[in-house]
Amino acid sequence: MLDFFSIATKGGLVLWSKAYGPAQSSPINNLIQDILIEERSSTQIYYKDNYAIKWTFVNDLDLIFIAVYPKSLGLTYIDTLLQAASTQFSDRYGDRILRKSGGIPQLKDWGVQFEALLQTIEDQDALSKKTKQPRKFEQTVGYSNSLAYAKAKPEDIKDTSKPALVDEDEFLRNIEMLKKKSASPRIGMRKGRGAKSPAASPVIGSDDSKKKTKEGRKWDGKISAKDAKSLDYSNSDAADVVNADHLVDQSKLGQHGKDGTYNVADLEASDEDESYSDEESEEEYTKISARSLQAKKPAASSGLMSFFKNMTGQKEMTAESLEPIMSKMKEHLINKNVAADIAQHLCDSVAKGLVGQTLGSFKSVQAHVKQSMETALKRILTPKTSVDLLRDIAQAQAEKRPYTIVFIGVNGVGKSTNLSKTAFWLLQNNLKVLIAACDTFRSGAVEQLRVHARNLKALEQNAVVDLYEKGYGKDSASIAKEAISSAKLTGHDVVLIDTAGRMQDNDPLMRALAKLVTVNNPDKIIFVGEALVGNEAVDQLTKFNAALKDYSGLANPRHIDGMILTKFDTIDDKVGAALSMTYTTGQPILFVGTGQTYTDLKNMKVNNNNSYCPGRHYTADSNRTYTMNLLNNNDALSLAKLRDVLIRLEDTIIFALIERAQFALNDCTYQPGVYKYDNGSQGSFLEYFLHEMEKVHARVRRYTSPDEYPFTSPLPEPMLPTLDFPPTLHPNNINVNKDIMERYLQDIVPKICAPGDDLNYGSSATRDTECLQALSKRIHYGKFIAESKFMDPTQQKTYIRLIQNKDRDAIMELLTNRTVEAALLRRLRRKALIYGSDITETGEVVTKEGEVEGSTATAAAGATTSRKIQADVVVDLYERFVIPLTKEVEVEYLLQRLDGWQIPEDSKN
């Protein structure tokens, strides 16, 4: 009955798996993409193709247990199996997993134990079905519990005992039986009754606030010639009378990059209506009413702060202790304009990830809950596909065709206005724009676009922006097609297609929209929505996407590719609508509209330096850089800068591994004495090549920088003047390049390269050099991290005491942040999945030959992909090699940190 069972770390490393039949697809990959990565793990069951998937977390060990079975079978014992398997596995191997130095535990006997456990639970389930008879209410457990509750004293009501999940004797008998068996595990599936899919949760609607009605114009039965002329907007040749001053706000103009491209301004703090202070957020974010606490503890105060203090002594978080926090958090999210069902799913997912985690002081509880929520929100808001429209347009230009964008949405959200803002941005990049008037339904729609085209021409002297119109009552799909053909003939670069506003329940208009998309197959479908809506945004996006799918008649229908949020300047809680829309579609927010001028179009970027909890007003940092100026001591010891550099080095390492993986192993390049060298070296070809490369690098002073470490010696003196680097690091003699070289040749290259010899010795040595230098730089950056943490005045006394005691383990524990490491591995897996796959023109990831789908993980057994490198290999490289060796560098550096250093008086114990 069971098809597949897997035990994996949250970082994606599969510890153990068992398949009971051939897999027709990769359901676990879909689970990772659709549920776990998208923070939807609060869902109890997940259906994909012909499979049903259930899972459970063991958060204190960072493990996930996954069971896959046919969805047509009603397997009632899966929850019991997951709970029993996770309990027994944790008891048996938990200590070894927690000891990081122990490596991956050997699971030799687990297969037999799991088979016995599965056999026991299946037998118990079959027996319970055979012996199950209809009972009277007096014989039910509910009746017994009710009767016992009524008779029991108050202090006797609570019963914490739990029944055993499996029969102990039967389980032991099954283990002995399976150990004696020599036959292979059973393969195949059995028949069973189908299980009903859970009903879709209803979307909670929101009450629309009453809008002010526009005051009508008083005509008094007649109109003067002057008024008639001022109200006549039909003259398309009136560009000479346009007053351009009010059309743009010079203070809100974007900037031109070094390559000449014009970028719209980023959303800044000045755009927000109020600032955010941490003190105020604690009160608002964690406040809870006295009434909700009164039932649990009468003497508790009215704030959640008191509740947290009561939890300080607890060793781990439980579902019961998190319930009031998450209830208040859900209410907070809804108040900040997040759709109700999305707020519920998000809180459930975060709570599920916290249950079982060990916590310390009050501050750690507070930080853990908030950090988990912020991490989840950042993950949702981070674009999963490209948002670089200019690059996509350049690609279309190379193909000698116009790039087409369709703007869709409900009535009155500002589609035409934001289309014109987008046109202004494109014109600033010297692109020729054709606007297609395909709103043939609303009176005045064509005239509105005609005015916008006239204004845009008046703003830019040599601007090429034209309007393609065919009047009203015509077929919008045909007009769009004619406009695209016309743009190709006239040399326009971009076609912006305006469509009629329509409510999501208007079936005829939704069919017409699906027809327009199907006939013309635009490059981008942009949904324009208001930032004012919460629950309504979910309903709009869901039904627009459903209409594009249901009415297209295509096997692979189109869907919404991105969104523009309008009226962003009219609300205080800006992240709510953005969160609801991106969670619903999984697509990025391209721009936000913040006013009435053509410059009021801005970027909303996820900023890693600011919190995204709704209510916290954020700034998109357009000046963020991934480089570090080591000539600036403050720069070199900034944890934020260090983090950015390490993130950039992740990309460097992944791409270097991908480049090396394209060549065979070429083992002869690693063997000494194979070739004779002009310098008399007796080493391997790689050692010779690396030395020659490092001699060139040394001449241009590469190794005078404190973050660069050579693998070979001796090296020549620099030909360039030496830079005066400040003494950022304490003098030390730590260089682990020998360990890096050994691990790289023994563990990494054999995993990423095909065996054999393809004669590309120079190419493979070049890529080996790039990989080794990137790994060396990444690992030795641990010195900067250690120095930064040591200089933290709140931690320096602790570090000094531990260093004086030579307490290596305690130093390692103080340096370790498991939450950050887990987030790093998740980010790394995502990068490896994307970078290691072929990407189509529409941004889809090619996972198999001829198959296109969203990027997924490769945890399922037997999954064959066309990836250039497996994500598991990259994650395993970091988890077992890069992170541990970096921390070893940090510890060794700190153990030498007090040598010759005068301890400040205020830091002495």
Same domain, 480 and 366: no
End position of a domain, from candidates 347, 381, 415 = 381
Measured between alpha carbons, how far is 248 from 788 in angstroms, rounded to an integer? Answer: 46
Range from 199-213, 235-249, 451-465 carrying the lowest mean pLDDT: 199-213
- Residue 438 within a domain: yes
Q: Is residue 260 part of a domain?
A: no
Q: What is the DSSP string of 888-909?
A: HHHHHHHHTTTTT----GGG--
795 and 739 within one domain:
yes
Average the pLDDT over 594-622 and give the result: 58
Taking only the tens place, the pLDDT of each residue in 325-351 is 888 888 888 877 777 878 888 888 788
Q: Are residues 202 and 288 located together in one domain of the fold?
A: no
pLDDT over 60 at 292, yes or no:
no
pLDDT at 877: 92
The one catalytic residue in 312, 490, 609, 817 is 817
Query: Within a domain: residue 75?
Result: yes
- Separation in Å, CA 246 to CA 134, 450, 458, 847: 79, 18, 12, 50
Please give the torsion angle defined by the CA atoms of residues 617, 620, 621 and 625, in that order, rounded to the nearest 10 degrees: 130
Is 886 in the active site? yes
Least confident residue range of 21-35, 44-58, 559-573, 849-863: 849-863
Instruction: Please check the confidence at residue 283 and state whether its pLDDT lies above 80.
Output: no
The CATH number linked to 351 is 1.20.120
Q: Is 830 an annotated catalytic residue?
A: no
* Residue 9 is among the residues annotated as catalytic for this protein: no
What local confidence, expressed as pLDDT, does residue 307 receive?
Answer: 38
Confidence (pLDDT) at 863:
39
Residues 546 and 671 in one domain: no
**Of 683, 709, 460, 418, nearest in space to 565 by CA:** 418
Are 306 and 413 members of one domain?
A: no
Q: Is the pLDDT of residue 321 over 90?
A: no
pLDDT at 268: 57
Residue 778 appears among annotated catalytic residues: yes
Catalytic residue among 18, 543, 648, 789: 789
pLDDT, average across residues 584-600 = 83
Going across the sheet that includes 601-602, the strands are 465-468, 433-438, 494-499, 403-408, 524-530, 562-566, 589-593, 601-602
Residue 309's domain comprises 280-381
Mean pLDDT over 472-494 rounds to 92
* Mean of the per-residue pLDDT values of the chain: 75
pLDDT > 80? residue 661? yes
Q: Is the pLDDT of residue 769 over 80?
A: yes
Do 343 and 437 fall within a single domain? no
Say if 611 falls within a structural domain: yes
Same domain for 434 and 335, yes or no, is: no
80 or 310, greater pLDDT: 80
Active-site residue, selected from the candidate residues 777, 778, 830, 868: 778
CA 459 to CA 245: how far, in whole Å?
9
Which pLDDT score, from 0 to 100, does residue 55 have?
83
Give the mean model confidence (pLDDT) for residues 540-564: 85
Of the residues 554, 589, 618, which one is the last residue of a structural domain? 618
728 is known as an active-site residue: no
pLDDT of residue 575: 64
Catalytic, out of 115, 890, 892, 897: 890
Residue 464 lies in a domain: yes
Which residue, of 200, 231, 262, is where some domain finishes? 231
Split into its structural domains, the chain has a count of 4
Predicted pLDDT of residue 8: 86
Same domain assignment for residues 367 and 417: no
821 flagged as catalytic: yes
Task: Label residue 289 by pLDDT band (50, 70, 90).
Answer: very low
One domain, residues 61 and 119: yes
Residue 269 has pLDDT above 50, yes or no: no
Highest mean pLDDT range out of 149-163, 319-333, 573-587? Answer: 319-333
- Which of 18-22, 90-94, 638-642 is predicted least confidently? 638-642
Find the catalytic residue in 482, 821, 853, 888.
821
CATH code, domain carrying 768: 1.10.590.10
pLDDT digits (tens, 9 = 90+) for 726-752: 778 889 999 999 999 999 999 999 999
In a domain, 268, yes or no: no
pLDDT at 669 over 70: yes
Kindly name the residue from 643, 695, 801, 880 that is annotated as catalytic.
643
Q: What is the CATH number of the domain that holds 206?
A: 3.30.450.60
Q: Is 316 a catalytic residue?
A: no
pLDDT at 770: 93
Report the CATH number that the domain containing residue 525 is assigned in CATH.
3.40.50.300
Peptide bond into 750 cis (omega under 30): no
The predicted-structure confidence for 401-443, as pLDDT tens digits, reads as follows: 999 999 998 888 888 999 999 999 999 888 999 999 998 888 8
- Report the share of the chain in percent with pLDDT over 90: 22
Q: Which helix (H) or strand (E) holds 822?
A: helix 818-835
SS (H, E, C) 78-127: HHHHHHHHHHHHHHHHHHHHHCHHHCCCCCCCHHHHHHHHHHHHHHHHHH
Burial class (CB in 10 A: 0-12, 13-18, 19+), 225: exposed
Residue 682 CA to residue 675 CA, distance in Å, equals 8
User: Do 203 and 304 fall within a single domain?
Assistant: no
Residue of higher predicted confidence among 843 and 525: 525
- Say if 64 falls within a structural domain: yes
3-state helix, strand, coil in the chain (%, to 5): 50, 10, 40
The mean pLDDT of 884-899, rounded to a whole number, is 93
In a shared domain, residues 583 and 455: yes
**771 or 189, greater pLDDT:** 771
Q: What's the whole-model pTM score?
A: 0.46
What is the model's pLDDT at position 260? 64
pLDDT at res. 113: 85
The reply to whether 370 and 328 lie within a common domain is yes
Residue 600 lies in a domain: yes
3-state secondary structure 694-714: HHHHHHCCHHHCCCCCCCCCC
pLDDT of residue 107 exceeding 60, the answer is yes
